[in-house]
Each structure stands twice: as structure tokens, then as C-alpha cells.
Chain A
């Protein structure tokens, strides 16, 4: 599904990705973890073609993505910060994205699921952070794509919306989709993820199931296992 080969990326003097190799095959939920500034978002944005790597290749569905754009038809992306053009209404935004993607989208169920009906005719600038995030989620799940890339999907969600999100993720997973998530909420990751990818200083430090991670670090608690990785590397 996704192959990242020896990718380097530098922002100014800051080397964010340094020779990152990653291969994701088949369906399931893959959680990308790592401390702040470890390159999670840069990795995700490189896969989407928003960040252009200095070196290395990225393949999505066996195709090199450099200078291409059509492959994004099969990717749904949820950005970390829900920034939308403020003077559009929620409904207009959804219609616009559907028009731009040229793909039938199922927004209705999602709007009901996140009870967004009362906000449909409001301008995006007037919405609260959590509601914006809900709109963000609706836009990301509206289309039927094989690959979903979610950058911090839980930010600002109330408990009810979080339950809905988890349910949604399970449904997508059952359909055999590949879901790539970054998150700092370990409880959420432990509950949802099939595999964990731990990024550190621009490289993959660990990739495998949560059970493997616990074994590797000799911890029986996921939170402690993650903390153990962090402290191991500090020594």
C-alpha cells in the first residue's frame, strides 16, 4: 500500500526525516507515535505530497508519487489543525469538496452521526474548535477510499463524538481499509491500533504490534512501554 524508502527531509537547519524506511501493506489501523517534533506530520504530509522530500522515494499503491496528484483520489486526509476558509458555510464547503473530488460522497450519515445538522448553515469561522473538528472528520470519512490518513483525529472531541469516531474507524477497518493515524492519546491508540510505528529523530525506531512492543521493553503496560522507549534513547 505505502512504501517509504530512505526519505530525507530538512527544514532549514532542522533535519526532520533522516533516512526513513517504512512499508505498510494490507488493511488495518497503523498508529504513528513519537515525541513532539519527531517527524510524524512531516511523514504524513510527504505521503500526501504536501511536503516534498529532499531525497528518497515514496510509493503509494506501487506508484511513485513524485509530482503526481491523481493518486490522492484514493486517499482521505484529516489535517491536524482544522483550518477552513472562514466565509464558507459548512454545507457549501462539503459541496465544494465533493465537486472538487468528483466522487460521490456520503455526508448525510456522518452529519447525523456527529449531530451537525444545526451547524450546516453556519459559517465555518463561527464554529467552535470541537465542531470544526467534527466537520473535519465528516470531510475525511465522506468518501470511499482505500487509504485514510488521520493526523490527531481526537483533538477537541467530546466523549460522545470520540465513541462515534471509534465506531467509524472499526467500520472502515472491517472493509479492509488501510488507516494511518497519529495520536498522542495512548489509550486511544491501544484500543484501536493493530500496529504501532514509533518515530524517533526522523527514523523508525520500532514497528510492530503493541504486544511486541511490551515484550521488547519488558513492560506490561502500554503507556510505560512507550515511556521506556523514550528513556532508553535518552541514556
Chain B
């Protein structure tokens, strides 16, 4: 598996898109710092971008890489290599190169701006960690979609729909149900509902860490009571882990059944 990972990673490092992604974050970091003039404020703006953009890029890149490397996959399948290592290796290659672009692209400008002397360092680290989680989660989901759909157009379509659903539509349903079920106690419901969507979960986690839970409105207090504690924080991290591991397991399962 390590060898496949190495070759996938090497392959991606030669591709133009990794650099485009890296430079995008680099520019974003510099521009935000220039406009905000303060690290902690830049971190908040950055959160809004990361929460939406990282899943999108993870999804698109995952699907694109999977379809583009079909030939490579077929070549590997005839070699004495375990099937699951091929797919896990490729997945880890994509996810880790995307994470690297994210961490370096944002890390460099913030470091140059004096991140280590600032007290926003923990907020910033949490931001990068959630960004990494989101990359792994959405790349794994994208690989699942691509593996189940022979047709590229369909695969792309489903992947973008998935992103749209989790990033935008889910919130809409969530709010609607809060309004409709106003008369009932909704603490547990809203907690569970935000756990079921990795994007929501990451957003909540960061907002609470940044201590601006007022932005969360209605359920803010409940969330703060829950996520603010060590217990709540560990639960959220565990759920993010689950969100990463479940699609990977399903990827393993799907890969061992598929015909090429």
C-alpha cells in the first residue's frame, strides 16, 4: 500500500492542479491577512471559506483522480498487489496531497505574519485539523461514488450533488425543521442533526472554539454547554473520525467486489 501511496502522491505532485490549489490558499492567506490586519479575525473569515471550499475540492479532486487513473488502476490490478491496497493507497495519496496543499498554503502566510507569537495559534490549528478531516472525508466519499459509477458524468453529478446537499441544502432542512417543530424541545435533535453532517459539525466545532457561539443563535447555548466541555469536544472529534473511517471501510468493501 505504501508503494501505491508513493506513486499516487508522486503523480499528483507533478500535476498542475496540486499547485493551483496550493497557490490559491497561499494567495487567500495573504489577502485575508492584508485585509483583516489581525490573525484572529482572518481565522474567522478563513473558516467560512474552508468549511465550504475544502469539501468541494476534496469531492471534485477525488472523483477526477479516480476516473483519470483508471488505466493505472487496471495495470495495478494485474500485478501481485492486494486489491484494497491499490484503492486505499490511491485514496491516501490524493487526500494527503490535498491536505499538504491546504496546510502549506495557509500555514506559510500565517507563519510569516507571526502566528507563533499570536494567541490565535490554537484556533488556527483547529481550523487546519478540521480542514484535513474534511479533505479525508470528502475524498473518501468521492472515491465511493466514483467506484460505484462507471459513467463519469453520472459520477461527477452525484459527487457535486452530495457536496451541495451537505454544504447548503442540509442546513435549509435543518432550519426548516427547527421552525416547524418550534413547540418541542429541540436540544437533542439539533445536536444529533449537526453531528450527522460533517460540514455542520466542523463549523460548530470551530465557532465554539472561537467563542462566537452567539452566531449560532437559537441553539447556541445548548451547543456551548455540550461542545464547550472536554466531553463535547472529544465526542465531536470521535464523530469526525467515524465520518472518515466509515467511507474508507465502504471503499474497501466496494473495491473487493468490483469487476474491471
**How many residues from A make CB contacts under 8 Å with B?**
27
Nearest A residue to B75, CB-CB: A84
Nearest A residue to B256, CB-CB: A67
Task: Known A11-B259, A45-B260; judge A100-B74 contact (CB<8 A).
Answer: no
B177 touches A (CB below 8 Å):
no
B76 touches A (CB below 8 Å):
yes
Task: Known A69-B81, A73-B80; judge A50-B259 contact (CB<8 A).
Answer: yes
A48 touches B78 (CB 8 A): yes
B83 touches A69 (CB 8 A): yes
Partner of A52, one of B69, B71, B76, B259: B259
Task: Known A83-B70, A85-B11, A87-B14; judge A100-B81 contact (CB<8 A).
Answer: yes
Contacts of A163 in B (CB 8 A): none
Min CB–CB distance A68 → chain B (angstroms) = 9
Partner of B79, one of A72, A84, A87: A72
A96 touches B (CB below 8 Å):
yes
B77 touches A (CB below 8 Å):
yes
Contacts of B70 in A (CB 8 A): 83
B3 touches A50 (CB 8 A): no
Q: Per-residue CB proximity of B20-60 to A under 8 Å, as 1/0? A: 00000000000000000000000000000000000000000
B11 touches A87 (CB 8 A): yes
Contacts of B83 in A (CB 8 A): 49, 69
Q: Which of the listed residues B3, B79, B82 has the most CB atoms from chain A within 10 Å of its own CB?
A: B79
Partner of B259, one of A51, A75, A85, A101: A51
Min CB–CB distance A95 → chain B (angstroms) = 11
Q: Per-residue CB proximity of B214-241 to A under 8 Å, as 1/0? A: 0000000000000000000000000000
Contacts of B76 in A (CB 8 A): 100
B257 touches A (CB below 8 Å):
yes
A51 touches B260 (CB 8 A): yes
A69 touches B80 (CB 8 A): yes
Nearest A residue to B84, CB-CB: A69
B79 touches A100 (CB 8 A): yes
Which residue numbers of A lie inside 8 Å of B, CB to CB?
11, 45, 48-52, 67, 69-73, 75, 77, 79, 83-88, 96-97, 99-101
Known: A77-B78, A85-B69. 15 other contacts (CB 8 A): A11-B259, A49-B83, A50-B77, A52-B258, A69-B81, A71-B80, A79-B75, A83-B74, A83-B75, A85-B75, A87-B14, A100-B3, A100-B79, A101-B79, A101-B80
10 of the cross-chain contacts (CB-CB < 8 Å) are A11-B259, A52-B257, A69-B81, A69-B82, A79-B75, A83-B74, A87-B11, A88-B11, A100-B3, A100-B76
Which residue numbers of B lie inside 8 Å of A, CB to CB?
3, 7, 11, 14-15, 69-72, 74-83, 256-260
